[in-house]
Structure 1
Amino acid sequence: NNTEMPSTNEKSVIEALADFYEKSPICGETKSELERISNDQNKKSLFREEITYVTSFGHQLIGITWRSFQNLVGRPQPWIKQ
């Protein structure tokens, strides 16, 4: 792993570039866009849509129970091994 600490000269260049970017209009635009996206996601999480299924939970439960019963009667060996 070749992670070395930057020298003081490199550090000053890095800091100068960071300061230049922070003062640039691109930085401001990026921050405002990120805030807008964050706010949109917060709104979406507050107003979650209710998922409606075509078949009710009870109907699905009965179907799964019946299928499991048929598998047990038709092929009992996998159930017995467990």
Structure 2
Amino acid sequence: MSSSGFKQEMPPEGGYAPFNIKRIPARTLFSGYKLFGLYFGFTGIAWYLLKTQIVRRNVMDLVTTCLDMASFRKMPVVWLTLPL
């Protein structure tokens, strides 16, 4: 049953070349202090922009409400004076 043409694959004479398994650490772009500074900087800018937009929106809502109320008060008077 055994065939004479079969040959087991063996490693090369003298063995394989050594594997390079030395750890290569990643390059650090920012230290911990710089990361904290960037985080607080961006967060502060975002809070400032958010606060100014909230104030701006409240002012615009107030102006819009005042204009709506003013036009609502004038509306019946204008409607009654229109020629039919």
- What TM-score, normalized by structure 2, do the two folds share? 0.34
- What TM-score, normalized by structure 1, do the two folds share? 0.34
Structure number with the higher helix fraction is: 1
- Which structure has the higher relative contact order (CA within 8 Å, separation 6+)? 1
Which of 1 and 2 has greater Rg?
A: 2
